Amino acid sequence: MAYEPDPAKSIRDNIILHLMDRLRSMRADGREGYSVTWNRVLRSELTPADIGFAPVVALLELPERKTAATFPYTHCTLPLEVEFRHPRREGDDVRSELLRLMTDVVRAMTTDPTCGGLATDLVETGNDLDPGQPEAKHVGGIVSFSLTYRHRHDDPRSI
């Protein structure tokens, strides 16, 4: 079931919860073509303890920029990062595995770039894939996005 916005929360918070729901709903069951089911979906940086629950993914919000360009709206640009860790499987081509995971993350995040009508746009802006050392037990990466949305000057809960 899709995320239902909570009118008591800000537009920003509803968008983040919508995106987390998308990541949480990814299933490696072959129906939607995803290759991973996340054990944990977090809204904080991954810690070594979190990586023990791999596959794990975290949605991070970076400092936001706001402009009051068009009354009665405040336009917001929020950089996001999705960090993921996945157990390394014996015999897998690490680079191919990372590209597959990155593609799954990008597909899930950008399926609806308006986040159910709450956002103006969501675009991928880059990535940093980490194959780790040969003895590493996990592989991972970070995919960066730029989220744009707006809210009323006088109420960050209203579009």
Residue 6: inside a domain, yes or no?
no
Q: What is the pLDDT of residues 33-54, one digit of tens each?
A: 899 999 999 999 999 899 887 8
Q: What is the amino acid identity at position 143? A: V
The domain that holds 57 is classified in CATH as 3.30.70.1700
pLDDT tens for the 159 residues of the chain, in order: 578 899 999 999 999 999 999 999 999 987 888 999 999 999 999 998 998 878 999 999 999 999 876 778 899 999 999 999 998 877 778 888 899 999 999 999 999 999 999 999 999 999 999 887 777 788 899 999 999 999 988 888 876
Domain with 37 in it: 11-152
pLDDT at 91: 77
Q: In Å, how far are 13, 27, 78, 108, 145 from 151, measured between CA atoms? A: 12, 33, 13, 24, 20
Pairing outcome for strands 40-42 and 56-61: parallel
Dihedral of alpha carbons 33, 100, 24, 157, sign: negative
Q: Where are the alpha helices (DSSP H) in the chain?
A: 11-24, 48-51, 94-110
C-beta pairs of 59-63 under 8 Å, 24+ apart in sequence: 59/16, 59/19, 59/20, 59/23, 61/16
Our count of domains for the chain comes to: 1
Residue 148: inside a domain, yes or no?
yes
Q: What is the distance, to the nearest Å, from the Cα of residue 2 to the centroid of all Cα atoms in its chain?
A: 16
Structure tokens at 26: 């990814």
Residue 2: inside a domain, yes or no?
no
Residue 157: inside a domain, yes or no?
no
- Whole-structure pTM value: 0.91
**E-strand stretches of the chain:** 40-42, 56-61, 65-70, 73-87, 121-130, 138-152
pLDDT at 27: 94
Residue 104: inside a domain, yes or no?
yes
Residue 103: inside a domain, yes or no?
yes
Alpha-carbon distance of 100 to 66, in angstroms, equals 34
pLDDT at 104: 96
Which are the contacts of 82, defined by CB distance < 8 A and separation ≥ 6? Answer: 23, 57, 58, 59, 60, 105, 109, 142, 143, 145
Residue 120: inside a domain, yes or no?
yes
Residue 1: inside a domain, yes or no?
no
